[in-house]
Amino acid sequence: MKRIILTLILILVSATSVFAAKIPDDVKGVIRKDFPRADFRFDGLVTLPDGTLYLPLYPALVKKPDALVLKSTYPEGKTIADKPDIIILNNDFSFLKVITDKKNRRTVINLPNPPVEVRTGLLPQDLLVPSGLIIPDNIKGIIGNLQIDTAKDAGLKVKTDLVLQQRTTNEVFKKGQKNISLIPQLKNKVMYIATCYSKNVQVVEGEANSPAYALEQKSIPIDIEITNDDKLLLVTTFGKTFVDVISLADERSIKQIDLTTQAEEIVIDRAANKAYVSSGEDSSIYIIDLNTMTLKQKIKVKGMCQKLYLTDDGKKLFYFNKKNNDVWVIELDNDFVIKNMGNFPNVSKITFAQNKVYITSRTKNRLAIVDYVTLALLKELEIQQKPIDMLVYKNDLFILSAQNNVLQILDTINDEITGTINLNTQGFSTEIYRIKNSPVALVMDTKVGKYSIIDLDKKSLIKTNLLNIPVSTVIVAEKVRKIGK
């Protein structure tokens, strides 16, 4: 067993002035006394539960009062709960409410003599403000070097690619057939879909059988992921070194996090709110702080890292070295110690349960089961052809095989196959995706215009839905209130 300590290259993130500035926790606390569910986006934009927006202004010099409290408002004598046009705290932090003028343009209050805290404040210089925002002439100094898009800027929203419909073999769409018997787990949800046939991320509302629109990208996506609050989409694309961060409320790119090398697969530690992004060509895995959307660490690893898998507790990160077929694990809670789990041909998926590692080989049609502590090969099973994905749910492992569109169910206690779910789509499956906080999973397909809905508790097929585009990767998220809507 090889054990080596990974070299950590700490990425020092410096912030001058208010570039990538973070609103202090005590300032957030004052707002949240009246609005506990107020959302503070990483770039500073404040959204109240009813959709009201506030722009933060950073003071030139932050005062340090004994107790941070509300200092003044406009109109005068209001509380924060009243949602006044201007909020000023006694450390000189201030907030401007985004309003709509008589011409239906978004702006802020225009006063002949604005408070000094407003006139001398500065907007965060990486803030994505609403398109077409008008700043009154007498406070234009708050803009600094910030660029404000024009109202005509449509952002990333574009029509879906019609060519995608020609990539599926399902004929039922010609008859106008729609999905019926809708399930509650997809009500008020949105599917964000990446496909190898389009540069754009397709947006499907609920159980619609066609995308409503797409989010434009410059290259075909490698991977997509979403933040815990379902408001920010992370995208990596071929030929690009950055992770594109899309604000789903604006449907605009809010930030690009440059890794300086090809950015590839993304996995997210939900509890710690950070993302791990691989770069096989650089033999590196990058850690991004999702609270601030900044690069925190670079981990040098062995070989060309692929097939990332993060355990639910966030303590172990597995990957496959494409160069020599070794499977490795990084013990994130143990000083980033790395262990070689063994050599396995053409790995398609790695997962972990009951202190055992489960590894599928796409070409050998086999499942290897390895004891995590001893590294002993406990068992090797022949499974259905072209295993492509796996999902752990409770004590079961669902193994998806693409050739015959079959889900095999393995009991992870005794490692025996206990059942099979035939999907009968006559297509080529790509992944199994569990809808967050539910016992329902989707099995997507890249060949036919269908996807399967699975009840993980009952271990059965609920139904098959129509979808007239091929799917490589899917994300299911709550609908997000659009800014200005």
Backbone torsion region of residue 111, taken as left when φ is above 0, otherwise alpha when ψ lies between -120 and 50, otherwise beta = beta
pTM of the model: 0.90
The two three-digit tokens of residue 61, written as one number: 């010099």
Nearest CA to 280 among 261, 267, 259, 266?
Answer: 261
Look up residue 91 and give its amino acid: N
Q: Mind giving me the DSSP string for 252-310?
A: EEEEEEE-SS----EEEETTTTEEEEEEGGGTEEEEEETTTTEEEEEEE-SSSEEEEEE
Residue 22, pLDDT score: 81
Query: Between vectors from CA 291 to CA 289 and to CA 296, what angle results, nearest 5°?
Result: 20
pLDDT score of 282 more than 80: yes
- The confidence score (pLDDT) of residue 483 equals 84
Q: How confident is the model at residue 146 (pLDDT cuts 50, 70, 90)?
A: confident
CA separation, residue 296 to residues 11, 193, 312, 401 (Å): 5, 28, 21, 37
pLDDT of 278 > 50? The answer is yes
Tell me the C-alpha to C-alpha distance, in Å, between residue 320 and each of 110, 207, 243, 277, 297: 58, 35, 21, 14, 20
User: Among 9, 6, 11, 8, which Cα is nearest to 296's?
Assistant: 11
Cis preceding-peptide flag for 75 (omega within 30 of 0): yes
Round to whole Å and give the CA distance between 275 and 293.
Answer: 9
Question: Between 60 and 431, where is the model more confident?
Answer: 431
Confidence class for position 182, pLDDT limits 50, 70, 90: confident
Tens-place pLDDT, residues 375-415? 999 999 999 999 999 999 999 999 999 999 999 999 999 99
Q: Which of 70, 151, 82, 138 is nearest to 110 (CA)?
A: 138
What pLDDT shows up at residue 366? Answer: 96
- Which whole number is the average pLDDT over 421-449? 95
Which amino acid makes up residue 447? K
Residue 10 pLDDT > 60: no
Distance of alpha carbon 388 from alpha carbon 382, whole angstroms: 14
| CATH 2.130.10.10 domain position(s) in the chain | 218-340
Q: Has residue 9 got a pLDDT over 60?
A: no
**Burial level of 341, CB count in 10 A (0-12/13-18/19+)?**
buried
pLDDT above 90 as % of the chain? 83
Residue 112's Cβ-count burial label (10 Å; 0-12, 13-18, 19+) is exposed
For residue 2, pLDDT beyond 50: no
Q: Does domain 218-340 have CATH number 2.130.10.10?
A: yes
Mean local confidence (pLDDT), 352-361: 98
**What is the percentage of the chain residues whose pLDDT exceeds 70?**
90
Residue 119, SS3?
Answer: helix
Asked if 55 contacts 96 with a C-beta cutoff of 8 angstroms, the reply is yes
Element (H, E) at 34: helix 25-34
pLDDT exceeds cutoff 60 at 20: no
Asked if 127 and 154 count as a contact pair (C-beta separation under 8 A), the reply is no
Please give the pLDDT value at position 179: 74
Q: Tell me the torsion sign for CA atoms 100, 157, 249, 238.
A: negative
Mean pLDDT of 300-324: 96
- Cα separations in angstroms, 316 against 152, 342, 458: 46, 16, 30
Beta bridge partners of 189: 478
